[in-house]
Homo-oligomer: A and B are copies of this chain.
Amino acid sequence: MAEPLFRRLALLGVGLIGSSVARIARAQGDLAAEVVANAHTEATLARVRELGLADRTELDPARAVEGADCVMLAAPVGAYTALAEAIAPHLAPGCILTDVGSTKQSVIRDVTPFLPEGVPFVPAHPLAGTEFSGPDSGFVELFRGRWCLLTPPAGTDPAAVEKISEFWRRCGSMISVLDPHHHDMVLAIVSHLPHLIAFTICGTADDLQDESRQQVLDFAASGFRDFTRIAASDPVMWRDIFLNNREALLEMLARFTEDVQTMAGAVRRGDSAYIEDRILRGRKIRRSLIERKQA
């Protein structure tokens, strides 16, 4: 087996992503010799201990990062500023700071001001998720065959980028490096906007008069079930994503709203050709996804 990449990995957050990383570290032994877990509440850490996910748990993030040569932010992105401020004075020289957040410009904006000299920050985003959250939800296969996107700002130590790349390769991921702005635009359309829509349409249904709402629940056809599966994800995580990818999300929402109004106009005036064309484009994208084996 390969040597562990890191001596001590500090995980700040042990939800779906963090607890999956912890499980892989346990199972493989080639990621980190020691895992220290930090979470927002003692209850979560108690569960981490019950599950045996870490060598040590620390409620204080400053203590969690002491002596770590890799610190991974795996909390909702809205917590990054406070975390970065709390841990910065305690980061060991040569330690690599990384994260797993779904928005990358905001993360760079929030973390960079606190970075001590000699601590590289390698922002990362493993594209993997389920509708579940918390330390119980993780599993070792989560990242296998999935993309992990790295968005290092210009000037980031290449050795640190390579080490984080290798970390995710050992988790089973494929690596892609891209510009943080571009990351945020692409994620806005493939993930953030679909979730915003899904949360919203659940509310629209919930606002129906009582009798209809009952029947909405009774008769929920496949379309709505898929929407509500998306909509069952962690509220704080998604609130933070929306707020921290605000510009790209609103830009994509504006484009989508224009398109949906055009579609509504086509339905109103009975424009069969336009409607069919839009449906066929959806199928074309779907086919491309299947060919890429991401489906």
Residues of chain A touching chain B, judged by Cβ–Cβ distance below 8 Å, are: 127, 129-130, 147, 149, 176, 178, 182, 185-187, 189-208, 212, 215-233, 235-236, 238-239, 242-243, 246, 249-250, 252-253, 255-257, 259-261, 263-264, 267-268, 270, 272, 275-276, 278-289, 292, 294-295
- A270: B residues at CB distance < 8 A: 243, 246
Contact of A186 among B178, B182, B197, B219 (CB under 8 A): B219
Q: This chain: how many copies in the complex?
A: 2
**Complex Cα distance A278/B201, Å?**
10
Interface of A is mostly: helix
B286 adjacent to A232 (CB under 8 Å): yes
Beyond A190-B223, A279-B199, whether A272 also contacts B285 by CB under 8 A is no
- Knowing A200-B259, A250-B268, A267-B249, say if A129 contacts B187 (CB, 8 Å): no
Min Cβ gap A235→B in Å is 4
Complex contact B289–A225 (CB within 8 A): yes
Q: How far is the CA of A232 from the CA of B286 in the complex (A)?
A: 6
B187 and A219 form a contact (CB under 8 A): yes
Contact of A218 among B147, B201, B250 (CB under 8 A): B147
